[in-house]
Amino acid sequence: MNPQLIRDLIALLGPKAVLSSPEDLMLYEYDGSVELGSPKCVVFPSSAREVSEIVRLANRYEVPLLGRGAGTGLSGGAIARDGGMVVAFSRMNRILEIDAANMRAVVQPGVVNLDLSRAVDHLGLYFAPDPSSQKACTIGGNVSENSGGPHTLAYGVTTNHVTGLELVLPDGEIVRTGGKNLETSGYDLNGLFVGSEGTLALVTEITVRLTRKAEAVKTLLAVYDTIDDTTESVFEITVRAITPAACEMLDGFTLRAVEDYVHAGFPKDCAAVLLIEVEGLSEAVEAQAAAITEVCKLHRAREVRVARDDRERALLWKGRKEAFGALGRISPMYYVQDGVIPRTRLPETLRRIAEIAAKYELQIGNIFHAGDGNLHPLILFDERDRAQFDRVVAAGGEIMRHCVDVGGALTGEHGIGMEKNELMSLIFSPEDLALMARVRAAFNPEGRLNPGKVLPLGKGCGEIRIPHIPASAATPA
């Protein structure tokens, strides 16, 4: 990194807001994925004006830069692939306004997701997007990745809850899109920027829609002795036009790891469980819970348990949301997938994942948003074993290819990042990708903002990649 740029950054932000020593930068070379990339410096702005000046300095010195929240992302989106500068938003963490009457909040990007819900809890409101990492992930990161969570089934992903943005464009200009209104005239620029993974602008302020707490909530745990019965229940719930607030599935291997860690009350001798939540008016909740229980028993659930109180309900959800940590207790590393499939293809897809696990001699745990077909297979491995890691990458590629082959998508909530950008051609035509590149170039013509993300590079760069797996890939030795 140019020493003069470091001096200019220190003059702008102060010495405690600029990191450039190798030992400090090591903390920013990874996120929650298996990707790696070390920046040349990290800066901590405290205002949109400072972000604008940082961008102008980066342009003057021709340095790539990218935004970073809590680093909980799972696709390498917040990793400095080409060195350059990381703009960390952890100091821009204030809730600027709570407008309870209009059910809106204005926040800085570094506000932790769960902290916003806690701040408005006394008003009977909450922020609906609830990624499993909501205790740590930031709303700015949620906006960049268009994050979801267990309650996506009923409430949608982050883009459905963002009504306004303040942005710093790649030339340093500060602009606003949307506002407190749910709909605005003209182009839907909020929809363009939410989920763009930081390749079009840096987000410095977010106006979000708050949701009123439901009058009644019921959480059900359905226990099964076979995977097929579990997935068939999900399909049947859909056919009957029942839309729970959440419908999560854990297979037997995963739930046993969770139970040993959290002690949530999951039975350890079953093949899988569904964690289903319904909410709304009391009468409707009772009716939906009864209908879901009927469906589950029709498909041979051996037990359908209803949480008796808020404590038991919270414990069940704790088990779901700490599942990744539970598996981390029994494996040095895991690789999280994020494919989407039609719900009708759940049974065959889980069988295919089991076949891939056997083929590559790997353990794969399944925990996912069954209601909307968003899969999160976790492939366990030891990163010190290079041969095993190569098998993990190959297995991940086969899982993603299967998701596409059955009519699904590459990501439901984790983003493309630098993990799956070379797989984009499985979904999109060259013309589609060229159009996306033109949109990006309209905002980010120099390609300096979060380079090497989302769109394919078309060449091997030596980084960890999910390769294109030939249909006839041989079983590894």
- CATH number of the structural domain spanning residue 54: 3.30.43.10
| pLDDT confidence of residue 464 | 40
For residue 467, tell me if it sits in a domain.
no
Q: How far apart are CA 193 and CA 189, in angstroms?
A: 6
For residue 371, tell me if it sits in a domain.
yes
**340 with 387, same domain?**
yes
**250 with 344, same domain?**
no
| pLDDT confidence of residue 376 | 95
Identify the domain boundary among 194, 212, 230: 212
**172 with 198, same domain?**
yes
Give 468's DSSP letter: P
| pLDDT confidence of residue 458 | 74
**339 with 319, same domain?**
no
Q: How far apart are CA 371 and CA 373, in angstroms?
A: 6
Q: How far apart are CA 98 and CA 111, in angstroms?
A: 13
For residue 459, tell me if it sits in a domain.
no
| pLDDT confidence of residue 407 | 96
Identify the domain boundary among 297, 324, 351: 324
339 forms bridges with which residues in the sheet?
Answer: 375
**238 with 291, same domain?**
yes
Q: How far apart are CA 269 and CA 429, in angstroms?
A: 46
The total of other beta-carbon atoms located within 10 Å of residue 195's CB is 21
364 forms bridges with which residues in the sheet?
Answer: 379
Q: How far apart are CA 412 and CA 410, in angstroms?
A: 7
Q: Which long-range contacts (CB under 8 A, 24 or more apart) does 440-448 make?
A: 440/199, 440/200, 443/169, 443/170, 443/200, 443/201, 444/170, 444/199, 444/200, 445/170, 446/59, 446/170, 448/58, 448/59, 448/62, 448/63, 448/64, 448/65, 448/170
Task: Determine the structural domain holding residue 162 and report its residue range.
Answer: 95-212
Contact 89, 45 (CB under 8 A): yes
Longest dimension (CA), the chain: 70
Q: How far apart are CA 67 and CA 165, in angstroms?
A: 15
Any idea of the CA torsion for 451, 453, 455, 461, to the nearest 10 degrees?
80
Angle at 412 between CA 108 and CA 236, to 5 degrees: 125
Q: List the structure tokens of 447.
A: 């390609």
Whole-number Cα distances in Å, 197 to 48, 120, 253, 428: 18, 27, 33, 18
Rg of the chain in Å (alpha carbons): 22
Q: How far apart are CA 294 and CA 127, in angstroms?
A: 31
**165 with 256, same domain?**
no
**306 with 337, same domain?**
no
| pLDDT confidence of residue 477 | 32
Tokens 């997935």 correspond to what residue? 231
Contact 277, 314 (CB under 8 A): no
**262 with 310, same domain?**
yes
φ, ψ for residue 176, nearest 5 deg: -125, 145
| pLDDT confidence of residue 35 | 87
**335 with 420, same domain?**
yes
Closest CA to 208 of 133, 277, 111: 111
The three-class DSSP label of residue 20 is coil
Identify the domain boundary among 178, 212, 246: 212
Contacts (Cβ under 8 Å, ≥6 apart) of 226: 271, 272, 300
| pLDDT confidence of residue 186 | 86
Instruction: Decide the pairing of beta strands 202-209 and 18-19.
Output: unpaired
Closest CA to 162 of 127, 137, 197, 134: 127
| pLDDT confidence of residue 459 | 53
| pLDDT confidence of residue 263 | 95
Tally of domains in the chain: 4
Q: How far apart are CA 338 and CA 347, in angstroms?
A: 17
pTM (2 d.p.): 0.91
For the residues of 403-447, what is the DSSP string, one character each?
A: HHHTT-BS-SSS--TTTSGGGGGGTS-HHHHHHHHHHHHHH-TT-
Q: List the structure tokens of 302.
A: 């051996």
Q: How many residues does the chain have?
A: 477
189: domain CATH number is: 3.30.465.10
Q: Is 255 exposed, middle or buried (0-12, 13-18, 19+ CB in 10 A)?
A: buried
**291 with 270, same domain?**
yes
Closest CA to 334 of 367, 359, 358: 367
Across the 477 residues of the chain, what is the mean pLDDT of every consecutive 10-residue run? 95 97 94 91 98 98 97 94 94 98 98 98 97 95 96 94 98 96 85 97 98 96 96 92 94 96 95 97 96 97 96 95 91 94 92 97 95 94 93 95 96 94 95 97 96 83 40 37
